[in-house]
Chain A
Amino acid sequence: MILETKQISKYFHEPDKHQVLNEISLQIASGELTSVYGESGSGKSTLLYILSTLDRDFEGRLHILDHDIKELSAAELTNFRNKHIGFVYQFHYLLPEFNVLQNIMLPAMKLGEKNKEEVKHEAIMLLKELGMQDFAKRPSYKLSGGQQQRVAIARALINDPLLIVADEPTGNLDQKNSDVIFDLLKEITTNKAKAVVIATHDPKIYQNSDKTIEMIDGSIRL
């Protein structure tokens, strides 16, 4: 098991105290594409931020790769996230100051396990797999939405993490590009034996996932 939660609850305190997540317990295995779906406001994004360790302000337990996330120090958590978790957001979030290749290399340069040449080589290999090799030197803001999202996936993969978390990865794309991105994520799950968690309200995605988690008012229905 890559990820396991035990009775995670979460409260918002603004404007009034109210419960967003209600005792969520779930397990995620490698080689599995899990989609979390539900209405907006159902708490799926909130759950995703907790699963991706960005938000540690919750009750209950979160274990990823046998680490109790709440027990890591801030610095340990940053390194842990850098090494083991890849992110894909709805709005691509590439850094506009850097070209495509540099964007992909950033997490690996931070990890510092490989030298620049090795990282560069791996980034180019990833771009090839995603059909983006011709765009390596292009400034990231000069790409279309679908292209940017492919680069974002490459960036999420560069440190070879076991867990990929995607928040509405197709939410901002047309149908054709959505299909491409989803196929890519599926391919990664099977071929690279990653655990992929996607928050979405696209029926086409959750109908084709290995596992779906439906969220209603902060609770899950498996």
Chain B
Amino acid sequence: MSKQVINTTNIFIAFQYLLARKKQSFLATIGVMLGVTTFIVMINFMTGVNDFLDDAVFNGSPDIIISAKQNKSSSKQGFGVGINSLERVEKIDHLLSKEENIQSFAHQIISPAILVSENAQLPGSINGILPSSEKRMVDLERRLIEGKGFDGLVEENAILLGISLAKKLQVSTGDQLKMILPNGKNMRLKVAGIFSFGITTIDNVRTYFPAQTLQNLLGQHDVITHVHIKLKDRDDVGLKTELSQQIETATIEDWKDANKTIVIGNKVRDILTWSVSFALLLVAGFGMYNILNITVIHKRKDIAVLKTIGYSAADIIFIFLVQSVIIGLLGALFGAGLSYVISYFISTTPLDTSDFIIVDTYPINFKLMYYALGIAFGILTTILAGYFPSKKASRVDPVTIIRGI
């Protein structure tokens, strides 16, 4: 092309056209703005929920659990015999210590127990842990509501409780509890701290208790019921397969098995978010397309004149495309601003605690990336929507128009 299409004259013409149709330009901008706003707010909210759940679930639970197989013959032998231990724990430890993908792993002794407080008694289970290795598995400090974290377990009768469990037992930090184990042994405990992962399935049942005390009470000094593993790359399923082949005497379960509903929920939310967002942008794009198309039809005479006085097809495309870019840019920027305001309000809106998650306000993401994405998609949509009318404008044949009068 001998002459540059992008020049101030063409931009000036585009601006004049936009200003000549203030109302339509304004409405088109509002359309893009609403599309981009909804797009960003939806993504902020849905990814907020997803991230919240991921964080709560995956930081609260291990990625892979190796547990003792339920041995039917031993359980038949009656009450008080004790709990099944994992066999050959040293071999498992040895195997795990050589694996690359493992961030950390820890032993647990999980035993059924009845917890008795002054006002309530609840059947449940006790998680016996080694504070030093469990620290590398769970960031409990962040989850602590009151009292001490794993450090509190230096006292041999200290126990940490999930918040829902503590509420049911009607106890708080410093209160006394009695624990009754399957073999009849019981012990007085002191609540050293209360934590919340935000998910009822964890907060209802999870306890932390010194492993050694538990082993002593059970009378099984070497018993280990579970090995918990945290992975570096959670989606790499290689280790699970390998462990399943090597260890036949244990059950191996990974996070996907344990959290099927959450994994599926996240997927459904993702699909919903993206499809609704794109549908909205599409609608905004159609609005844009419509308005420009009508302009092109109304302005056919003017386009014909521009062509006769020396404006090329490329100039015409540029003139009309600039209009949609300006509308897209303004709409996208206003949309990003508005979505921030709306997201802020949602994030401060109190949320009635459901049975499933425990949170004060709606979880919302404020990632800059989503705003950039919203703006980019908004502009892209308008450019695409503007291109076809612009192309149509460039094809206006001056002779047909001038003759047609």
Residues of A within 8 A of B (CB): 45, 49, 52, 54-55, 74-76, 78-79, 81-83, 87, 89-91, 93, 95-98, 102, 106-107, 109-112, 155, 159, 167
Contacts and interface: CB of A to CB of B under 8 A. Distances in A.
Given A78-B312, A81-B309, A110-B315, 8 more contacts: A54-B399, A89-B305, A93-B302, A95-B302, A96-B20, A97-B302, A110-B3, A110-B311
A109 B312 CA distance: 13
Nearest to A55: B399
B390 to A, nearest CB: 17
Contacts of A98: 16
Contact of B308 (A74, A87, A102): A87
Interface of B: 1-3, 7, 9, 13, 16-17, 19-20, 301-302, 304-315, 398-399, 402-403, 405
A209 B46 CA distance: 78
14 contacts: A49-B403, A54-B402, A75-B2, A79-B310, A82-B311, A90-B405, A91-B405, A93-B302, A95-B302, A96-B20, A97-B20, A97-B302, A112-B7, A155-B309
A18 B396 CA distance: 24
A83 B2 CA distance: 14
Given A55-B399, A78-B310, A93 B16 contact: no
Contacts of B3: 79, 110, 112
A95 B405 CA distance: 16
Given A49-B399, A91-B405, A82 B2 contact: no
Contacts of A106: 9, 13, 306, 309
Contacts of B308: 52, 54, 81, 87
Given A97-B16, A98-B16, A54 B398 contact: yes
B17 A97 contact: yes
A9 to B, nearest CB: 17
| Residue among B3, B309, B405 facing the most chain A CB atoms (10 A cut-off) | B309
A49 B400 CA distance: 10
Nearest to A99: B16
Nearest to B309: A107
A4 B296 CA distance: 36
Most buried by B among A90, A102, A109, A159: A109
What 10 pairs across the A-B complex have the smallest Cβ distances?
Answer: A82-B310, A109-B9, A97-B16, A97-B20, A107-B309, A78-B312, A110-B310, A93-B305, A55-B399, A54-B399
Contact of B310 (A89, A95, A111, A167): A111
A78 B2 CA distance: 11
